[in-house]
A = this chain, B = another copy of it.
Amino acid sequence: MSVAELAGLTGASEMTIRRDLEVLADQGVLERYRGGASSLLLRGEEPPFGLRELERPDAKRRIAAEAASLLADGESVVLDSGTTCLEVARSLADRRLTVMPLSLHAANALTGAPQLKLLLPGGEPRPGELALTGPLTEASLAALRFDTAVIGCCGLNAADGLTAYDLADAAVKRAAIASARRVIAVADAAKFSRTALASVAPASALDAVVTEEGAPEEETGALAAAGVAVRKV
Contact = CB atoms under 8 A, between A and B. Distances in A.
A132 interface: yes
A39 interface: no
A140 B118 contact: no
Interface string A94-131: 00000000001001100110000111111111010010
Given A104-B108, A108-B104, A112-B127, A140 B122 contact: yes
Task: State the main secondary structure of chain A at its contact with B.
Answer: mixed
A136 interface: yes
Contacts of A119: 122-124, 136
A195 to B, nearest CB: 30
Nearest to A141: B122
Given A112-B127, A121-B136, 10 more contacts: A104-B104, A104-B120, A111-B130, A119-B123, A119-B136, A120-B120, A120-B125, A122-B136, A122-B140, A140-B140
Interface of A: 104, 107-108, 111-112, 117-125, 127, 130, 132, 136, 139-140, 143
15 contacts: A104-B104, A104-B120, A107-B125, A111-B125, A111-B130, A112-B127, A117-B124, A119-B122, A120-B120, A120-B122, A120-B125, A120-B132, A120-B136, A121-B122, A139-B143
Closest 6 CB pairs of A and B: A122-B122, A122-B140, A121-B122, A120-B122, A120-B123, A119-B124
